[in-house]
Structure 1
Amino acid sequence: MADLSPDAESRTTPPAAPPAAPRSGWRARWLTVAALGAPGLCFIVLGYEGRRVAQLLTLLLPLLLWLRMPLRTPVGIMVRRWLVTLGILVFVLDGAARTYLLSSYQAAPDSTLVLSAMANTNLRESLEYAAQSWRGLALFGLVLAAVAAWIWQVSGRLEAVPAPGPGRKRSLMDCAVLVLIGILLLLSAAAYANKPWRRLHPVLFWPHWVESTEKLRKGWANLDAVRNQALERAQAAAPVVLREGPSTVVLVLTDSINRDNFSLYGYGRKTTPGLQQHQRQLGAQMQVLRNAWSVDAATLPAIGNLFSFGMPEADDAQHLLALARVAGYKVWWISNHDDVAIEQQHARHADVLQMINREPGRSSMSLDGEMLDEFHTALQAPDQRKFIVVHMQGAHPHYSLRFPKGHNPFDAADDAVDAAMARQGRPVWVRELRQNYDAAVLYHDSVVSELLRLSREADRPQAYTGWMYLSDHGQEVGHVGNHVGHSPGTAAGYRIPAIVWQSHAAAPMPTDWAQRPFRADWAAWTLADLLGVQWHGQQVQHNVLHADYRWQAPQLPQLGTQLPSFTD
């Protein structure tokens, strides 16, 4: 008789294999991830430009990749649903706010324009603005509510996506997906480890933005007092203009320009054709200071030193712009920088302030040529005595953003400069950055040359026009080693161009002054000479145009003994 017991059945019938997970499971999960990422991507693209879009997407990746992980407990699924919804909404809100500011004011949220407006706004003004713009704000709220509902609804579909069975073997596609996830996670980890990328994350950016606004609000009172004190010190010094008749003085102050990359100074690439043409036309009227140096490798200290006559910490320090105003000059400040510190410490000494750029930081795409119209307007103003400061971006990193797209004649250049860098062992990436830097210098030359041309054409009969150009500091672009950027440890970080032009000199010029070593922190003494301003306490030994000029080498511990005499 056959054995009909259950044990006998289990001995004769092999166990059934676990059912394979539906092949559509992983596809459904990836489709859900894509559907959730779409709103974030859309608002990031609307609110950012260029490489920052990729940076923000990289920061968003962890949230989206978390959705790829199968969860089985209801609590875990609900927690993830809430966190993912809120996390994506943070990116959506960030992009929406930036889109609004760009479309309405062509400004980034951390621009001086926006920070200043928020710091200068009280609750009543905010409510009045909301009442005036309620239709747009209501539409904005409805769109965000619809996006939030979409994210919440789609994230709930993850609960219905089945996880792979416990006995199912991984296919080649599964392995490829895991490798892709691993690569994306590594990329995201690198983004979070990079401070300039990490600080763009909305969770970090907006609290810092609120803090910056509050600091600006609190600091304004102090800076107003500092400017008023500088004006009082200038009035106490009783400056006077010795020159008779109309006078226009122009200071063109640029950023991150190394004279070693000027063909005007003997560089192998033709980077300064405009200035060289002016030099041929003007002869001895335009003097190129061959041995010019900054004593700072960064913008803020360099500008602070320049306008305070090299003595920013002195109790009786004078500010050049305050002296010029007290002496009778009307002062313009035209800038392509968006920097709160520079604006508050220096630019607001001016009678007329024009800030062209409304996007701070290295990723600003505002070109220096945008300032030419404002400069022309200042030149045409009827005031008898004018002092015009033009603050340029120059070749401030990123170099590729400092010239119009498609205007790089040195791209993939196979010339003597590139060959020399190859012999020096410079890698390809350094040579490519040098090409971009030289293209930025070439565009920069076109703007500076136009500024000089406009100044020359605006020169009136019986009037005096003085013009000075210099950079705040230099830039290392493969000159010494493979470093690119600001460089306090190499001479390239301090090597700058400096040019002086006068329609006519008030006194005979020393025959050797173009070869004299020149310090940018003493530039205010030379500018005071161009302005024709004299006051008690003037130090002519620091004025490179004066016969009694006496050179003193600055002390720069960062350079060690590389440049002990600070001369070529």
Structure 2
Amino acid sequence: MQTPFKLSLQRPGWSAVLDYYLFFFYFSGITHILLQISGATIFVGLRQAIVMSLLWLIPVMLLPRYARKLAAGIGLVLWGFSLVSLGYFCIYGQEFSQSVMFTIFESNPAESSEFIAHYFVWWMIPVLLLHSAVAYWLWHRLGRVQVSRRAAWTVSLLILTLLFVQPMFKQLVIKRAGLDTAVEKLQLRMEPAVPWQMVIGYMHYRKQLANMEALLEQNNKVPPLNALQDTNAGQPATLVLVLGESTNRERMSLYGYPRKTTPRLDAMREQLSVFENVVTSRPYTIESLTQVLSFADQEHPDLYLTKPSLMNMMRQADYKSYWITNHQTITKRNTMLTNFSKQTDRQFYMNNSRAQNSREYDANVFAPFEEVLADPAPRKFIVVHLLGTHMKYEYRYPAEFNVFRGRAGVPSVLDDDEAEVYNSYDNAVLYNDYVMSTLINTLRERAPNSLLVYFSDHGEDVYDGPDHDMLGRNESKPTLPMYTVPFIIWASEQWKSHHDMNFESMLQRPYSNAHFIYTWADLAGLSFDGFDPQFSLINSQFKEHPLLIGNPNQPDTLHILDLHDH
């Protein structure tokens, strides 16, 4: 009588299958385990690598006679890809991503060679040899697969259901997403595992590159500003725009927060113009900065397609322009920003992490910032885009900035986990203070005639409201901390000696960064046909306008932000 089919790992056949699984998982898992040990990123990548490694069991179980040969062939492919993945981690402490591909492929050959050369430092040889030896040992101990055909087919179908059918069903049927969205979500699930890390990463890179090139081509067709005039024409100058991330001014001691989260900026307050009532129009990076860096605003959201960007304007004014970013580059969400960056003369992409929730500190921007300041070009326009205080906050600062701990200064209604998040956000603000003060001091030392403007793309609600129950941003449920951003201007003594920088009477003006291009033009001494002084925060003809928030593509959602509503 035939024994009923049971899925039991105690049976010898399933023990062998487990050995095969460990062999396949090793190639993806080793790097993800190291990422977890180092605290470089969140658990999601490792989880997906664990799941996706099941895929390679299917041919082994269905063709048991050739199991070891199949494992050897598949293993050689996975080994080759894992060498790159592990090598990249050993050098940079991060996960290989499509942003790395962008950096390599979009650089000139000399820069690409220099970048790739980082993989081949001497100590990498024993590391990769050890990695290969462990892989061979795992393969050498593989035995015969002895499971019934019925069991093999059943488990194979379960694996296919888990990996492909269930995710597609969830997207297409439960969430009613389109096929493209469902496929994209599936690819994102696969991407943490080798070889998909590079195969899908390359596919996404090519797709987003095509999108970016289409945007650039469209931008190249935009006519220049008419009758551009520059009161500083021909004069050496360095103008710096620092774009922060997710920083709510209400959590900065510079703006009255009781915890000393900005001690360095506090110390130089007399050198700063600190504007008190500037807000963002959208609580999301791309949507906000598309308006900040162009003539688009809440009432005219598509003007970025037909009118020059801020980068175009500065190039037309004969500034050599640079973009230094600690954000990811060629991802679906960041393609618009990469398009903006490509409108400058030179770019520095300092963050090649696959996952946003990875440790990349904003000190990354210091070296390229100093390099740019050393450039002999007399007129420079520099954009520095920081990761700032982006969630997850504990990944935004090194250990020495873990200053705020415990319950002191934390709303009493928060539980211990919420208090930890609250503290980590303040620590991220503290580190951001260090980054900003360092940039200002470096600029003061290296560029005698210089100006710097800093603000955040949007704010963040980290249990700040009256009920202390909101974490993050949600445009459909807006709260004031999502929109209140710092806005700071610093100028060198030489710049101030030739420009009126007395903004004392203007610091309380309510202002939306959706109109920032007019303020920047005013600061830089630029005028042109269509320049409207009433939209410039620092102009004597400034007029207060409604602070519109909401999605401009859904006009019925637009409404006025009340700065006194907390």
> Please, what TM-score do these two structures have when normalized by structure 1?
0.73
Secondary structure in 2 matching 1:250: strand
Question: Is the Cα–Cα contact under 8 Å of residues 81 and 195 in structure 2 kept in the other structure?
Answer: no
Q: What is the aligned counterpart of 2:376 among 371, 382, 407?
A: 382
- Match of residue 309 from structure 1: 295
In structure 2, C-alpha distance between the alignment counterparts of 1:75 and 1:108, rounded to whole Å: 33
Aligned length: 494
- Match of residue 430 from structure 1: 418
In structure 1, C-alpha distance between the alignment counterparts of 2:228 and 2:90, rounded to whole Å: 48
**Residue 213 of structure 1: CA displacement?**
2.9
In structure 2, C-alpha distance between the alignment counterparts of 1:506 and 1:121, rounded to whole Å: 40
Q: How does 1:347-358 map to 2 (within 5 A)?
A: 347-358=341-352
Secondary structure in 1 matching 2:548: coil
**Residue 320 of structure 1: CA displacement?**
1.1
Q: Which amino acid aligns with 1:320?
A: L
Q: Which amino acid aligns with 1:434?
A: Y
Secondary structure in 2 matching 1:112: helix
Residues 471 and 90 (structure 1 numbering): CA distance in 2 closer, same or farther, change over 3 Å?
farther
Question: Is the Cα–Cα contact under 8 Å of residues 548 and 559 in structure 2 kept in the other structure?
Answer: no
- Match of residue 101 from structure 2: 114
- Match of residue 407 from structure 2: 414
- Match of residue 273 from structure 2: 287
Q: How does 1:218-297 map to 2 (within 5 A)?
A: 218-219=210-211, 221-230=213-222, 232-234=223-225, 236-242=226-232, 245-279=235-269, 281-282=270-271, 286-297=272-283
Q: What is the aligned counterpart of 2:453 among 465, 468, 471?
A: 468
Listed one character per residue, the Cα deviations across residues 446-466 of structure 1 (whole Å, up to 9, x for unaligned) are 010111122233453xx4x22
In structure 2, C-alpha distance between the alignment counterparts of 1:449 and 1:120, rounded to whole Å: 31
Matched, 1:499 2:488: yes
Q: Which moved more, 1:432-441 or 1:105-114?
A: 105-114
Listed one character per residue, the Cα deviations across residues 474-518 of structure 1 (whole Å, up to 9, x for unaligned) are 112112343322332222222211111234162374543100012
How large is the Cα RMSD of the aligned pairs? 4.6
**Residue 36 of structure 1: CA displacement?**
5.0
Q: Which moved more, 1:334-343 or 1:446-455?
A: 334-343
**Residue 546 of structure 1: CA displacement?**
0.4
Secondary structure in 2 matching 1:334: strand
In structure 2, C-alpha distance between the alignment counterparts of 1:447 and 1:142, rounded to whole Å: 39
Question: Is the Cα–Cα contact under 8 Å of residues 101 and 205 in structure 2 kept in the other structure?
Answer: no
Q: Which amino acid aligns with 1:526?
A: T
Q: Which moved more, 1:80-89 or 1:206-215?
A: 80-89
Residues 262 and 79 (structure 1 numbering): CA distance in 2 closer, same or farther, change over 3 Å?
farther
Secondary structure in 2 matching 1:455: helix
Secondary structure in 1 matching 2:380: strand
**Residue 564 of structure 1: CA displacement?**
3.5
Q: What is the aligned counterpart of 1:44 among 23, 29, 32?
A: 29
- Match of residue 551 from structure 1: 544
In structure 2, C-alpha distance between the alignment counterparts of 1:28 and 1:159, rounded to whole Å: 4
Residues 415 and 217 (structure 1 numbering): CA distance in 2 closer, same or farther, change over 3 Å?
closer
Secondary structure in 2 matching 1:349: coil
**Residue 373 of structure 1: CA displacement?**
2.4
Listed one character per residue, the Cα deviations across residues 11-32 of structure 1 (whole Å, up to 9, x for unaligned) are xxxxxxx9xxxxx966996697
Q: Which amino acid aligns with 1:445?
A: D
Q: Which moved more, 1:35-44 or 1:330-339?
A: 35-44
Question: Is the Cα–Cα contact under 8 Å of residues 284 and 457 in structure 2 kept in the other structure?
Answer: yes
Structure 1, unaligned runs of 5 or more:
1-17, 19-23, 69-73, 134-138, 162-184
Residues 501 and 408 (structure 1 numbering): CA distance in 2 closer, same or farther, change over 3 Å?
same
Q: Which amino acid aligns with 1:368?
A: D
In structure 2, C-alpha distance between the alignment counterparts of 1:213 and 1:367, rounded to whole Å: 24
In structure 2, C-alpha distance between the alignment counterparts of 1:510 and 1:43, rounded to whole Å: 56
- Match of residue 330 from structure 1: 320
Residues 75 and 140 (structure 1 numbering): CA distance in 2 closer, same or farther, change over 3 Å?
same
Question: Is the Cα–Cα contact under 8 Å of residues 191 and 201 in structure 2 kept in the other structure?
Answer: no
- Match of residue 521 from structure 1: 514
**Residue 322 of structure 1: CA displacement?**
1.2
Q: Which amino acid aligns with 1:533?
A: L
In structure 2, C-alpha distance between the alignment counterparts of 1:53 and 1:38, rounded to whole Å: 24
- Match of residue 169 from structure 1: none
In structure 2, C-alpha distance between the alignment counterparts of 1:267 and 1:276, rounded to whole Å: 11
The structure number with the bigger radius of gyration is 1
Residues 324 and 246 (structure 1 numbering): CA distance in 2 closer, same or farther, change over 3 Å?
same
In structure 1, C-alpha distance between the alignment counterparts of 2:221 and 2:228, rounded to whole Å: 14
In structure 2, C-alpha distance between the alignment counterparts of 1:249 and 1:466, rounded to whole Å: 5
**Residue 82 of structure 1: CA displacement?**
8.8
In structure 2, C-alpha distance between the alignment counterparts of 1:415 and 1:143, rounded to whole Å: 48
Question: Is the Cα–Cα contact under 8 Å of residues 36 and 155 in structure 1 kept in the other structure?
Answer: no
- Match of residue 471 from structure 2: 484
Question: Is the Cα–Cα contact under 8 Å of residues 85 and 151 in structure 1 kept in the other structure?
Answer: no
In structure 1, C-alpha distance between the alignment counterparts of 2:62 and 2:211, rounded to whole Å: 48
In structure 1, C-alpha distance between the alignment counterparts of 2:281 and 2:395, rounded to whole Å: 26
**Residue 326 of structure 1: CA displacement?**
1.3
In structure 2, C-alpha distance between the alignment counterparts of 1:60 and 1:37, rounded to whole Å: 12
In structure 2, C-alpha distance between the alignment counterparts of 1:507 and 1:56, rounded to whole Å: 52
Q: Which amino acid aligns with 1:523?
A: F
Q: Which moved more, 1:347-356 or 1:554-563?
A: 554-563
Listed one character per residue, the Cα deviations across residues 53-79 of structure 1 (whole Å, up to 9, x for unaligned) are 8545534556889999xxxxx968669
Question: Is the Cα–Cα contact under 8 Å of residues 239 and 451 in structure 2 kept in the other structure?
Answer: yes
Q: Which amino acid aligns with 1:493?
A: M
Secondary structure in 1 matching 2:342: helix
In structure 2, C-alpha distance between the alignment counterparts of 1:498 and 1:243, rounded to whole Å: 26
Percent identity over the alignment? Answer: 23
Question: Is the Cα–Cα contact under 8 Å of residues 526 and 543 in structure 1 kept in the other structure?
Answer: yes
Q: Which moved more, 1:55-64 or 1:205-214?
A: 55-64
**Residue 146 of structure 1: CA displacement?**
7.9
Matched, 1:449 2:437: yes
Q: What is the aligned counterpart of 1:370 among 344, 364, 368?
A: 364
Secondary structure in 2 matching 1:49: helix
Residues 246 and 202 (structure 1 numbering): CA distance in 2 closer, same or farther, change over 3 Å?
same
> Please, what TM-score do these two structures have when normalized by structure 2?
0.73
Q: Which amino acid aligns with 1:98?
A: S
- Match of residue 170 from structure 1: none
Q: Which moved more, 1:391-400 or 1:557-566?
A: 557-566
In structure 1, C-alpha distance between the alignment counterparts of 2:268 and 2:420, rounded to whole Å: 30
In structure 2, C-alpha distance between the alignment counterparts of 1:154 and 1:441, rounded to whole Å: 52
- Match of residue 98 from structure 1: 85
Question: Is the Cα–Cα contact under 8 Å of residues 238 and 381 in structure 2 kept in the other structure?
Answer: yes
Q: Which amino acid aligns with 2:508?
A: Q
